[in-house]
Amino acid sequence: MNSEKMKSGVEKAPHRSLLKALGLTNEEIKKPLIGVVNSFNEIVPGHKHLREIAEAVKKGVLMEGGNPLEFPSIAVCDGIAMNHEGMKYSLVSREIIADSIEVMTKAHGLDGLVLIPNCDKSVPGMMMAAARIDIPTIIVSGGPMLAGKVGGAKVDLSTVFEAVGSVTAGTMTEEELDELENNACPSCGSCSGMFTANSMNCMTEALGLALPGNGTIPAVYADRIRIAKYSGMKIMELVRDNVTPSQILTEEAFQNALAVDMALGCSSNTVLHLLAIAHEAGIEMNLDIINEVSKRTPNLCKLRPAGPYHIENLHDAGGVMAVMNELSKKNLLTLDIKNVTGKTLGEVISNYKVLDNKIIASIDAPYSNTGGIAVLRGNLAPDGAVVKRSAVAEEMLRHKGPARVFDSEEEAVKAIFSGSIQKGQVLVIRYEGPQGGPGMREMLTPTSALAGMGLDKDVALLTDGRFSGATRGASIGHVAPEASAGGPIAFVEEGDEIEIDMIEGVLNFKVDEKTLEERKVKWQPKKSTAKGYLAKYEKIVESAAKGAICRV
């Protein structure tokens, strides 16, 4: 056991003395030490209930003879952080989460980890830590929020964001908005659609680091407590057998996860996070690999914001394992690989069938023959750009229009709410990349405003920043290289014609080489005003095309 080097032998008497200061007995000290990493806080609604999850995990560890030791992790609520300075701190929190878990685990010689995330960056941050530290680890998340109801219709957080645009357009009253505000988020848990948090929680299953159901069991169900107990029990088996993430997070596991990502129609943010987790695991992954998987994987689900259904519906229809079973019928998965259950993936998914083909389409009758995410390239994005194609109206899959250029999200939002954006235009929002933001802000407010104003089928957006998993419409993010690095997006001017083709994967702007060179000569990058952690982050962060990983 790892902890032996910290607690065994005469020379470790001082260490044992400090452990006894915690109230631990000799019997407890001799047991495997299991870190229970709890991202509970009283700010994030997806994390409000995680004390209960942690207590269930600890009971599971104790039942199987381990000694659970809980410590905290930070978490950011992207919805609360949206559309102000706070969003600059969302993506960067992923690195702090991974780093802090590494520090605590290595400093105290822990034998295993049970990681308890739920919302957007806590899930990938913890998976990055699992891959980096490589001791026996299992993930049990807090689970999704239930959908809200207004007038008999299901609603969620993205409905509220879009309603702001509807009020501005005069198609909804402030009284109606107030009713929606009061009913859209009816329980604790990660927001109820296939937004980033739930996308990544589904990836914990697809990658093999969590028990079946972890991605979809609603936060308020008793099953969520039971899966926490089972995860606490399972970590002891993983420790005894020395099953570590490096044995699970193989190239085949990442290929499987990408296929599930495409079938579910997950958030475009999964591209950033899977690239970063793969980097920590030492697995080669890039945008071209992601695009290849997308081309061969059918889209089987239309979950919010791409369709009318929520995560609770996916759970009732069979969950992630049923989706994987369906994919296996076309040999789209590697089935003889390890996961935390101790069985092969093929053995696990054989017990899960699709129970509702409205929620999970048959592999023989998919929503589309290609995946939910597409990577675009061209003279505007030589290193690539990403779009959640499954949430784009068919008429916007191909689009040409004049550019409206903004050097920040705030400028773009002001233009949208002032009514100055016209049908057919392409909004370019730049200097919002990982380095240029810094922090690569999500931009749910402009996309939701356009949707609420009825312009999502007429106006495209593209940015070197990113979009929320709750975004729908022709919203293209992660344009790389970013503006602050001198990428072509820095040289787009008002009125330039932009060509978007999500079917062929093309993103160009119609500017001749001579004009482009003249613009480059005159270009001055936007000056950074970042302080504190953001100032450190902008100096070490890599391109979005590499997952916005940080140089070491």
Q: Which residues are catalytic?
A: 468
Show the tokens assigned to 263. Answer: 């079938």
36-52 burial: b if 16+ Cβ within 10 Å, else e: bbbbbbeebbbbbbbeb
What residue type is assigned to position 159 of the chain?
Answer: T
Closest CA to 22 of 86, 80, 60, 69: 69
The CA dihedral of 275, 125, 461, 85, to the nearest 10 degrees, is: -150
Helices and strands (H and E) in the chain: how many:
22, 14
User: Pairing state of beta strands 497-501 and 506-509?
Assistant: antiparallel
> Which helix (H) or strand (E) element contains residue 410?
helix 409-417
- The sign one gets for the Cα dihedral 367, 284, 273, 445 is negative
- Residues forming a β-bridge with 400: 499
Task: Report the distance separating Cα 456 and Cα 416, nearest Å.
Answer: 12
DSSP 3-state of 396: helix
| Helices 319-328, 196-207: inter-axial angle, 10-degree rounding | 60
CA–CA distances in Å: residue 537 to residues 439, 528, 531: 8, 12, 10
